Amino acid sequence: MKNKIILGIILSLCICTTSYASMTREAHQLYQKACALELEQKYEETAEVLIQALRVNGDDAILYIKLAGVYAELGENEKALAAYKKVLALKPDDAFIYVSIGNILQNMGNYNDAFESYKQATKLFPEYKYNYMNLANVQYVLGKYADSIENYNKFLDSYPMHEEARENLANAYLRSNKAKEACEQYKMLYDKQKENFKEYSNYGLALFKTKNYKDAIEILSTAVENNPEDISSLANLAIAYQQAEKYDFAKATFEKVFKLNPELTALRFDYGNLLADTGKYDEALVEYDKYAKAFPKDVNVYLNIANVYEKKNNVDMAITNYLKALNCDSNNVIALKKLAQCYHIQKNYTYALEYYEKVLAKTPDDTDTLINKAIVLHATDELDSAIQIYKEVLKKQEDKRVRENLLSAINTKGEQALEMGKVRDAILYFNEVLNYDVNNDYAYFGLGMAYEYAKNKTKAIENYEKAIEIDPNNKEYRTAYEKITGQQPTVQKVVKSQPTVQTQKQTTTSQPTKESLIKEGDALYKSQKYTEAISKYTQALKLDSNDYVTYLKLGNMYKAQKNATKSSEAYQNAIKINPKYTDAWFNLGLVYAETSNYADCQKCFQKVIALDPTYLYAYYALAMAYESDKKYPEAIENYEKFLSLNKDAKAAQVVQNKLNVLKKNNQ
């Protein structure tokens, strides 16, 4: 992913149409003296001489451009910007001044203003197509993926064979969750580059996101073949196998990952899921336990452990782990609901009712939980409350089980009325049942008992006969009928059947995912809320410690805060995961350059070039590093390499001017 901060072309190196002849003799002599001091890297003295020249000669574009470049070398960006603004007062339509201003602002981490400067350059000189790359790269850093995609496409309209731009476009599509479009761009690169194609990992991820697991497996397998120690690709491959239900391959690939890095506990969660899905519950528990020790605050691991214990019919251990989940997140609805069900199964109705009510307080429209609460009330003889809930549910939706429970509860109310001698109330209850279901045999039986108790033999026999007609094999009905036709009736207490827990398919309330955390971090980065963005990226890395792209973003955040220690640490972590990640090497080199660590800076840029000889700006960055380190022959060599790869005439002319000065001063 070319998610990098690009070194700009400082306009002390650029073409200037102002002639030296416009200077006075004294000013020109001072200018030459400044150039000599600059070659000796005596930048502070250079600046003093240039200021003297400006006092002698007045406003002169060449002098201000040279002064701006010197200030940039000194890291005095504000002064450099002020000098360039002086140039703009003299040359307001010079697009390249705006490009240089954009470069400085970009290096300062002021991406919004950098964008505006690049935008003005494009307005003045729309033919300079390479500026669309500047615009796109800044927009990408700002998280404006849609805009960056638009500008990458504009650039590619003019340079359709530019592979770096197409790769950046593919990665922008991937980061904006347009996996299908990303796949199209990666495929174009893949078909063109063949054995030189390097984006197997990202291409595989894009295919995975489109649920094209077959092709994802093929591409990710190649990534692993090219680099057997690429843990990120191995991890993604394992999960792709899992999604494709190739469980044996998935298990073998997970084992390779853990062989490379036994301490990679973040992936133990996914591995535990695989083992649980294949019925290896004891092994799954071992993996979940390893993960839980590393991430004791992750609610999801306790939910999954509890779920496994439920499958093992160990309700006590399931309850223990659902309670652990609530210790992590007291508002977790899944844990509350599952706890209520476990207590319900154990017939611990007090706790069951307590947790059902907690669920309904958070999700009052959860019909399944409402039904289960009614069932608990029914089982504990809170019949009026249960009946009320059953009726509320049936008003919203027809449910056969709810209707059966409702009729059972009303019949029970009829029985209780008979036991208390309230015959009239009993008759009302049994008739209410028949209003819902005219074929309810037990309601007819209850009416028969009520009328028999009221000494209305005719109606009693009539209702017993209806009950027997519906269920002719019911001995209880037949016995009652036989007794009333030959003996005095006695009211029989009917044994009530208890309703069971209504186990509905539970939906999973999603916890924050790595993707959602990264998305939040990108938005915060866009708003320049770097501290908050760091927090989100750090949380995402706890969920996936092998996400080297997120380490790169984390490094960029610290870099924006000018925290060289933290930014270099993040870039180094990205490199540890993916040693071939050129963007991390490049940005690490920039950090070293900013701290004047030229030796390590040069090593980083050399590494980028070794990994990707077409990485254009690595040559330019390396040349500047050599120049700063007074290694002028090496600087010249790399400027020339930059020119050999660069396809933009304007940029080439700018660098050629710098190269000419460098060669002249080192003859």
φ/ψ (deg, to 5) at 561? -85, 5
User: Mean pLDDT score of the chain, rounded to an integer?
Assistant: 87
Q: DSSP string covering 23-44, please?
A: S-HHHHHHHHHHHHHHHTT-HH
pLDDT tens-digit readout, 427-484: 999 999 999 999 999 999 999 999 999 999 999 899 999 999 998 888 888 888 888 8
Residues 534 and 490 placed together within one structural domain of the fold: no
Cα 505 to the center of its chain, rounded Å: 27
Dist. CA 115–CA 103, nearest whole Å? 10
Does residue 186 register a pLDDT over 90? yes
Residue range 415-433: mean pLDDT, rounded:
93
Between the CA of residue 618 and those of 256, 433, 550, 624, what are the distances in Å? 34, 83, 22, 10
Does residue 19 register a pLDDT over 60? no
Domain boundary among 83, 103, 128: 128
Dist. CA 279–CA 168, nearest whole Å? 42
pLDDT-above-90 percentage for the chain: 57
Residues 482 and 543 placed together within one structural domain of the fold: no
Within-domain flag for 174: no
Residue range 133-151: mean pLDDT, rounded:
93
pLDDT tens-digit readout, 76-99: 999 999 999 999 988 899 998 999
N- to C-terminal Cα distance for the chain?
Answer: 40
pLDDT of amino acid 206: 94
- CB atoms under 10 Å from CB of 112, counted, come to 12
Residues 2 and 124 placed together within one structural domain of the fold: yes
pLDDT tens-digit readout, 521-577: 888 888 888 888 899 999 999 888 888 899 999 999 998 888 989 999 999 999 999
Residues 548 and 487 placed together within one structural domain of the fold: no
Within-domain flag for 372: no
- The confidence band for 13, taking pLDDT boundaries of 50, 70 and 90, is very low
- CB atoms under 10 Å from CB of 667, counted, come to 4
Dist. CA 542–CA 656, nearest whole Å? 47
- The confidence band for 354, taking pLDDT boundaries of 50, 70 and 90, is very high
pLDDT of amino acid 172: 95
pLDDT-above-70 percentage for the chain: 92
Domain that holds residue 436: 399-494
Output the domain CATH number for residue 109: 1.25.40.10
How many domains, the chain?
Answer: 3
Residues 532 and 661 placed together within one structural domain of the fold: yes
pLDDT of amino acid 325: 95
Dist. CA 75–CA 4, nearest whole Å? 20
Within-domain flag for 379: no
Residue range 253-281: mean pLDDT, rounded:
91
Dist. CA 554–CA 573, nearest whole Å? 10
pLDDT tens-digit readout, 325-343: 999 999 999 999 999 999 9
Domain boundary among 128, 147, 165: 128
- The confidence band for 650, taking pLDDT boundaries of 50, 70 and 90, is low
Within-domain flag for 97: yes
Tokens 């940029």 — which residue?
651
pLDDT of amino acid 12: 37
Residues 14 and 107 placed together within one structural domain of the fold: yes
Q: How many CA atoms lie within 13 A of 305 on its CB side?
A: 26
Residues 120 and 14 placed together within one structural domain of the fold: yes
- According to DSSP, residue 108 is labeled T
Domain boundary among 128, 143, 172: 128
Does residue 126 register a pLDDT over 80? yes
Residues 522 and 643 placed together within one structural domain of the fold: yes
pLDDT of amino acid 513: 83
Within-domain flag for 196: no
Within-domain flag for 361: no
Within-domain flag for 611: yes
The angle at the Cα of 430, spanning 465 to 374, to the nearest 5 degrees, equals: 135
Residues 488 and 524 placed together within one structural domain of the fold: no
Does residue 153 register a pLDDT over 50? yes
pLDDT of amino acid 644: 79
Q: What is the CA radius of gyration of the chain?
A: 38
- The confidence band for 499, taking pLDDT boundaries of 50, 70 and 90, is very low
Which segment, 355-369, 494-508, 529-543, is predicted with the most confidence on average? 355-369
Residues 475 and 521 placed together within one structural domain of the fold: no
- The confidence band for 645, taking pLDDT boundaries of 50, 70 and 90, is confident
Residues 654 and 521 placed together within one structural domain of the fold: yes
pLDDT of amino acid 511: 62
Within-domain flag for 173: no
pLDDT of amino acid 376: 92
- The confidence band for 486, taking pLDDT boundaries of 50, 70 and 90, is low
- The confidence band for 9, taking pLDDT boundaries of 50, 70 and 90, is very low
Residues 624 and 536 placed together within one structural domain of the fold: yes
Torsion (CA) 629, 641, 603, 560 in degrees, nearest 10: 80
Quick one: how many helices (H) and strands (E) in the chain?
36, 0
pLDDT of amino acid 1: 41
φ/ψ (deg, to 5) at 494? -90, 135
Does residue 507 register a pLDDT over 70? no
CB 481 within 8 A of CB 496: no
pLDDT tens-digit readout, 373-402: 999 999 999 999 999 999 999 998 888 889
Cα 416 to the center of its chain, rounded Å: 58
pLDDT tens-digit readout, 280-306: 999 999 999 999 999 999 999 999 999
